[in-house]
């Protein structure tokens, strides 16, 4: 078992790890040795029920590649679906992850999250956002929305092992701007949906609350807009923008009550 990759295919089914219980024990972290020396835990692990899931491989074409490439996908054995209710299996997450690992060399493992990701993608995401801003300023809302969506998509399709905080921030900025663009176009339902996503992603960020309040005003729901602003003010009570807008909304509510 001197090979660095001694890893038994086929795996003896419910869980004994023969190569590790061997003499001398693995040189790995002490937690591993503890585990191997603990028959109770091993027994517990073996007692856990497992189910053999039906699966099959298919070659699925990857969209938007030139020349057309294909990738291996795991699907359910019977219906050839990646997510199948009848077979009670869902391979979506697995296939998603495999997209990122399939081209990696065999020994490669995902880097730990504290490794800095290559800066190109951040640059691209920023560029898309800037293009959106330019279109927004020029008043070309459809192009602005398109660019913001592209920026958000790119931020979301970062490799999943990278720092999640980064992708979250980039996504929320793009969505916040998209909400503003929708607002300008009068598409208030879209603006509201985007603003709510921004809040879910970054609650302490006042801009999300501001956008939500504006969308609600657009929908004519002043009371809710008032509450949204109060929500935002919890995080930054001195925020000028929010306070100004709060006064505006309150004036509107009063006006409405007079009628």
Partner 1 sequence: MATSLAVPIAYITVLVTSLAIFSRIYRRRQAAEKTSFEPWFPAHPARDIYITLLSADPPVPESMLKSALLVRATADVKRIWRIKEDKQALMGLHERGLVGDDTMSRFTTAEKELEAEIVDVVSEANTFRQGWGAMIFATASEMAHAEKTRDTVINIAKVKALEEKRLSLRAKLLGLPIIQQQLQQQQQPSPAKLSPAASPAVSAPGSPQPGSIQLDSGASTPSKNTPKKTKTASKKK
Cis-peptide, bond into residue 10, ω within 30° of zero: yes
> Applying CB under 8 A, what is the total number of residues that bind partner 1?
101
Contact residue for partner 1 among 125, 154, 197, 228 (CB under 8 A): 197
- Please say whether the beta carbons of 164 and 131 come within 8 A: no
Of the candidates 223, 229, 226, the one whose C-alpha atom is nearest the C-alpha of residue 199 is 229
Q: Which residues within the stretch 113-172 sit at the binding site for partner 1 (CB under 8 A)?
A: 113-114, 133, 136-137, 139-142, 145-146, 152, 156, 158, 160-165, 167-168, 171
Q: Under a CB-based contact definition with an 8 Å cutoff, are residues 199 and 140 in contact?
A: no
Footprint of partner 1 on 162-191 (CB under 8 A): 162-165, 167-168, 171, 175, 177, 180-190
**Binding residues among 224-253 for partner 1 as defined by CB under 8 A:** 241, 244-245, 252
Q: How far is the CB of 119 from partner 1 (least distance, A)?
A: 18
In Å, how far are 56, 73, 88, 96, 244 from 85, measured between CA atoms?
Answer: 16, 17, 5, 19, 51
Residue closer to partner 1 (CB basis): 91 or 226 = 91
CB of 202 to partner 1, least distance (A): 10
The burial of 200, by beta-carbon neighbours within 10 Å (0-12 exposed, 13-18 middle, 19 or more buried), is given as: exposed
Q: Which stretch binds partner 1 (CB under 8 A): 60-68, 105-113, 118-126, 228-236?
A: 105-113
């Amino acid at each position: 078992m001197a090979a660095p990759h001694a890893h038994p295919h086929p795996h003896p089914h419910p869980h004994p790890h023969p190569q590790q219980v061997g003499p001398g024990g693995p040189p790995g972290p002490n937690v591993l040795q503890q585990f191997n020396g603990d028959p109770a835990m091993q027994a517990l692990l073996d007692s856990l029920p497992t189910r053999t899931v039906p699966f099959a491989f298919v070659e699925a074409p990857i969209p938007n590649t030139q020349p057309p490439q294909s990738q291996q996908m795991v699907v359910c054995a019977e219906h050839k679906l990646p997510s199948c209710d009848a077979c009670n299996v869902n391979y979506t997450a697995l296939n998603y992850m495999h997209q990122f690992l399939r081209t990696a060399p065999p020994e490669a493992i995902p880097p730990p999250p504290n490794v800095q990701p290559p800066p190109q993608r951040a640059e691209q995401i920023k560029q898309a956002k800037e293009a959106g801003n330019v279109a927004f300023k020029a008043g070309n809302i459809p192009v602005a929305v398109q660019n913001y969506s592209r920026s958000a998509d790119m931020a979301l399709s970062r490799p999943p092992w990278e720092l999640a905080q980064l992708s979250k921030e980039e996504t929320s900025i793009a969505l916040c701007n998209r909400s503003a663009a929708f607002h300008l176009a009068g598409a208030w339902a879209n603006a509201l949906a985007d603003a709510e996503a921004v809040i879910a992603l970054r609650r302490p960020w006042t801009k999300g609350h501001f956008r939500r309040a504006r969308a609600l005003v657009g929908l004519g729901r002043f009371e809710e807009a008032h509450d949204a602003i109060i929500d935002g003010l919890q995080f930054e009570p001195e925020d000028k923008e929010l306070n100004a807008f709060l006064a505006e909304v309150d004036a509107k509510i009063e006006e409405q009550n007079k009628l």
